[in-house]
Chains A and B, each alone.
Chain A
Amino acid sequence: MGQPEQKTTGIFEYKNSSILERKPESISKIMLRKYMKNKLAVFSAIILLLIISAAIFAPIIAPYDPSEQHLLEALSPPGEKYLLGTDDLGRDTLTRLLYGAQVSLIVGFTSVAGSIFIGTVVGAIAGYFGGLIDAILMRFVDVIISFPSLFLLITLVTIFEPSLMTLISVFALFGWTGTARLVRGEFLSLRSREFVLAAKTMGIRSWRIIFSHILPNAMGPIVVSATLGIGGVILAETALSYLGLGIQPPKPSWGNMLQSAQSLKIMIEAWWFTLFPGLMILITVLSFNFVGDGLRDAFDPKINE
């Protein structure tokens, strides 16, 4: 604090206070600086940005049409004409990888957005109000968690015939339980904080306290779990597609491109055919995990710069 000065009114004023001289620094700026310290996370974020822009601009970058077949040149190894080789129907692997990125990322982002939304609302209500509401909602969560999820996914996808929409809805409707528990925990500790009581004494209503006062304080863990969740969903989509229950060919996804890896002969003789989609999945999921770790540190007030 600077030099206090007594005014004639008797009310003391903060003049020349050094606090006012410094430029205001928002919490997001401090977090960005902390995030930048984690080189691996920064590198992963760049990789992800590249993958995302490649997916967005796939129609421009891709040399061929994703379902265009060159049967005479099936299973060509990587070379000048086909940079990453072709598959058993003579389709360009690079092109299909680019379009497959679209599918994988759309499934990842939208289903996580859905599950985070449901999980946050349920968790916030349960944690803030507590008591009976909490007990009912959390038992419901317990029930959903106890379902054998992969089996359930397979059943549901079979019933509603596999499509992008089905996949996204199934992942969103069954993936929110972890977020709900996480958000509930955050709210349980935040609701007894003094600033919540202070907001109540100013007449602020419950729903505003929940969503505009407490929720921003719980944003850290939510963003981290969302980031890690996207990686998880991409893997789950891969698993379902591998089993033939995900995105249906000829629409390419990284998962259904791996489907052909079911044949050992192809894996040995046309390694490029399965290596590249597998590599893309690995890099993408790993990047999401590293970015999640970086965000976790950036949000953690205990980790100093």
Chain B
Amino acid sequence: MSALLEVKNLKTYFVSKKRVVPAVDGVDITIRKGETVGLVGESGCGKSMTSLSIIGLVPSPGGKIVDGQILLDGVNLVDLSENNMCKVRGRDIAMIFQEPMTSLNPVLTVGEQIIEVIMYHLQLNRSDATQKAINLLKMVGFPRADKIIKEYPHRLSGGMRQRVMIAMAMSCNPKLLIADEPTTALDVTIQAQVLELMKELSRKFETSILLVTHDLGVVSELAERVIVMYAGQVVEEALVDDIFDKPYHPYTEGLIDSVPLIEGAITRLNSIPGNVPSPEEMPKGCRFAPRCRVAFDRCYSEEPTLQSISTSRFVRCFLYEEGEVNGCSRL
């Protein structure tokens, strides 16, 4: 399978008169056609900024992609003009958000919002676009879609709105769907339905999904590969089974340990002490060192690089340098 999206050494900085804040600091991501990749990390680790960089909507003024490439089918999106980028958005890359309650326009009907996108990208006339919108809504599970298109968002439940968002995002068969915390704001039962829907659509249309989330449960459900971000950098990358089986980076381990389990003895939930350092106060050496359980002297003075452990596995930690993989198992 060839790579659909290749993000190379992406650096998105926020520049103000006083200081430079690196929100995304040299991130590499590769997504193949039809593949679902989970981008995981705590709040403030740069995962949302990475996804906004890919779709070319870094908040400005202030935010700017200062270095790196974002190749979609070989075309560098960073170099595209705003005009051309508008054509890519919605047609080649679409995005769905965490809050289905606020991501639909309250004064336009569901139909108007989907039809506008279809008319613009696929150059259909209004009646064809309306028919396509109805079909899309049927596809995401509204049997009486002809009624739904006349509804205003405030009359739909959270799960229904998220389905509408998915229908809109899928309207032009995008090559890549960026889902930023798509289920976080939903009830657990609705979460499962929405995940099932996304899985089904991605299989059917061979859409690649970049699943941005802090929820490892969602990742294990949907993703084939996982990229763990910490403080604007990738700290670990692995196949989803491998990472749950044996996380290498102490941070990944901490993330997995802090997921509550239903089975097993009732114990205190593990958590990683402290917070993600704010980008302007980045510690010297390894960025995770101050919160790391196994940090040693070198971690505080030198910055580790992303090491390749195998063809599908990368980790940014001194514990795994030069084949010392077995040197440190879960401490």
Contact = CB atoms under 8 A, between A and B. Distances in A.
Size category of the A interface is: 35 or more
Given A9-B200, A201-B89, A217-B106, A24 B57 contact: no
Interface string B113-151: 000110011000000000000000001111110011011
Interface stretch (B2-10, B37-45, B91-99): B91-99
Contacts of A131: 61
A19 B147 CA distance: 10
A10 B97 CA distance: 23
Contacts of B106: 27, 195, 217
Contacts of A212: 108, 116
Interface residues of B, number: 49
A11 interface: yes
B150 to A, nearest CB: 5
Interface string A192-222: 0111011111111100100011001101000
Given A195-B104, A202-B117, A11 B200 contact: yes
Contacts of A217: 105-107
B300 interface: no
Contacts of A197: 57, 97, 103
A19 B95 contact: no
Interface string A1-13: 1001000011111
A10 B142 contact: no
Contact of A203 (B90, B99, B143): B90
A199 B105 contact: yes
A203 B117 contact: yes
B36 to A, nearest CB: 16
B157 interface: yes
A10 B202 CA distance: 13
A26 B152 contact: yes
A195 B89 contact: no
Contacts of B89: 200-203
Given A24-B155, A213-B105, A204 B90 contact: yes
Contact of A201 (B95, B108, B144): B95
B143 A13 contact: yes
Given A10-B200, A203-B121, 7 more contacts: A14-B142, A20-B147, A194-B102, A195-B104, A202-B169, A203-B86, A216-B107
30 contacts: A4-B193, A9-B200, A11-B141, A11-B200, A19-B156, A19-B157, A20-B144, A22-B155, A24-B147, A27-B106, A197-B103, A198-B95, A198-B97, A198-B165, A200-B89, A201-B55, A201-B57, A201-B93, A201-B94, A202-B117, A202-B169, A203-B90, A203-B91, A203-B117, A204-B90, A208-B116, A212-B108, A217-B105, A217-B106, A219-B107
8 pairs of A and B residues whose beta carbons are closest in the complex: A203-B90, A203-B89, A202-B90, A201-B95, A198-B103, A194-B102, A216-B107, A12-B193
